[in-house]
Chain A
Amino acid sequence: MAKSEDSLTLKDLNLGCVVTEPGNARQYKTGSWKSKRPVTDREKCNKCGLCYIYCPEGCIRVNNKGYFLSNYEYCKGCGICAHECPQEAITMIEEEEE
């Protein structure tokens, strides 16, 4: 696990500043960017997975019941999944103020 920006020092840098943990950007949670979140109506969803294919964040995952759900830790709320859903099963709802 790479250190946070604040605690990073020169001792943490590899030769040539190479990053050796593939995909460690997952540490950076982009979910706080969103103003709306996608919510799936499981009555309508036909589990086609088009939302997963079209997600620019790659943050939609299939659950053990075959439904495709956004990981809100990364979902930026673009709304592509809702717009593209052939079943109109996804609705974008306002994020609540915290």
Chain B
Amino acid sequence: MEQKLQKQPKIFSKVPPEEYFVSGHRGCVGCGEALAVRLVCKALGPNVIIANATGCMEVVSSQLPNTAWGVPWIHTLFENTAAVASGIECGLKVLRKKGRYSNENTIVAAMAGDGGTADIGMQALSGALERGHRFVYICFDNEAYMNTGIQRSSTTPFGASTTTSPAGKKSIGQLTWKKDLPSIAIAHNIPYVATASPSYPFDLINKVKKATTMKGPSYLHVFSVCPTGWRSAPELAIELGRLAVKTGIFPLYEVENGVYKINHEPSKLDPVKDYLKLQGRFRHLSDDTIKEIEKRVNSNFIELKRKMMCDDMRVV
């Protein structure tokens, strides 16, 4: 469906025109995460307060005396973004109650990378989701600690070579499978969890908008291609995001009040090799390892479909 849309003229009008993450940011050439942030900000709109973790997007956007942010924004530390957002949400709530803040619809958003979410920020995130604050948490997953120089995180995919999971004579690179963060968020029984990708901008924008309407926490996991860390051509950032969906490596789905829905379901998954071969971080992988990855990706996708079908039956 997305591809048909792309051939229509004036599809730009489907995207809010205002920019809240502006030109002049210092993201790398072809940064998929900067694009993801830009689109997420368009969807969030101006009535928002953002808490941002330490990481690539913080560093590229906020060097004194400049800011790339057109909305109120605070960065404090690496692992505490969900907690800062908790404080913002409760602060606004009590100020409203006491008549010192009249804006009813201000959205509270938290943004962090995969390290700031899956690793060092996991505890603060879990606490905030469990407490039920009304906020949107967005994890921009570029699958490693890119800001510090491409070290592995718990969301680095199996087989990827990073500076702390290098491929070598006795290693194929990352030896663990990507931590399933959306499932962890789902386990908190929050109203809305979704995966999204800037390669599918309308889906991304719709999901952000939907997340902001929830009465409790929502969690968005956004695929963020990193040409620098993945050793891929900058112009391929969108293409890679699309291939990740088509191969089943990064399925687009949402879970609303516990009900699964796959938003983009290919009739047949493309070979994972189509995706892997465009990236230097996977260049060393043997055909056997690629097969192993494909097997895992397929079984994960079947599992996701099973969850969705169970929900379909429940709904019926």
Residues in A lying within 8 Å of B, measured CB to CB = 2-3, 8, 12-13, 17, 19, 21-30, 33-34, 46-50, 52-59, 62, 68, 71, 73-74, 76-80, 82-84, 86, 92
Cα A70 to Cα B238 in complex, Å, equals 18
Contact B6 A50 (CB under 8 A): yes
Contact B235 A58 (CB under 8 A): no
Contact A48 B29 (CB under 8 A): no
Contact A49 B71 (CB under 8 A): no
Q: Contact residue range for chain B?
A: 35 or more
Contact A56 B27 (CB under 8 A): yes
Contact A82 B235 (CB under 8 A): yes
Cα A77 to Cα B235 in complex, Å, equals 9
Contact B62 A84 (CB under 8 A): no
The winner among B38, B39, B67 for most chain A CB atoms within 10 A is: B67
Cα A40 to Cα B128 in complex, Å, equals 47
Contact B8 A48 (CB under 8 A): yes
Contact A84 B238 (CB under 8 A): yes
Nearest-neighbour CB distance to chain A for B173, whole angstroms, equals 26
B21 contacts the other chain (CB 8 A): yes
Q: Which residues of A contact B234 (CB under 8 A)?
A: 78-80
Contact B235 A79 (CB under 8 A): yes
Cα A12 to Cα B65 in complex, Å, equals 9
Contact A23 to B70, CB < 8 A, known contacts A48-B11, A56-B27, A59-B23? yes
Q: Which residues of B contact A92 (CB under 8 A)?
A: 235
Q: How many A-B residue pairs have CB under 8 A?
A: 137
Interface residues of B in 3-28 (CB under 8 A from A): 6-13, 15, 19-27
Find B24's partner among A3, A46, A74 (CB 8 Å cutoff): A74
Closest to A14 in B: B65
Q: Which residues of A contact B153 (CB under 8 A)?
A: none
Contact A23 to B27, CB < 8 A, known contacts A50-B11, A57-B34, A58-B21? no
The winner among B198, B235, B239 for most chain A CB atoms within 10 A is: B235
List 9 A–B pairs whose Cβ atoms lie within 8 Å, in order of A's numbering: A23-B68, A25-B66, A28-B66, A47-B10, A54-B201, A57-B25, A80-B30, A80-B237, A86-B6
Find B38's partner among A17, A30, A50, A56 (CB 8 Å cutoff): A56
Contact B29 A58 (CB under 8 A): no
B236 contacts the other chain (CB 8 A): yes
Contact B23 A57 (CB under 8 A): yes
Cα A59 to Cα B15 in complex, Å, equals 15
Contact A25 B10 (CB under 8 A): no
Contact A19 B68 (CB under 8 A): no
Find B64's partner among A17, A80, A84 (CB 8 Å cutoff): A17
Closest to A84 in B: B238
Q: Which residues of B contact A13 (CB under 8 A)?
A: 64-65
Find A19's partner among B15, B66, B235 (CB 8 Å cutoff): B66
Nearest-neighbour CB distance to chain B for A75, whole angstroms, equals 9
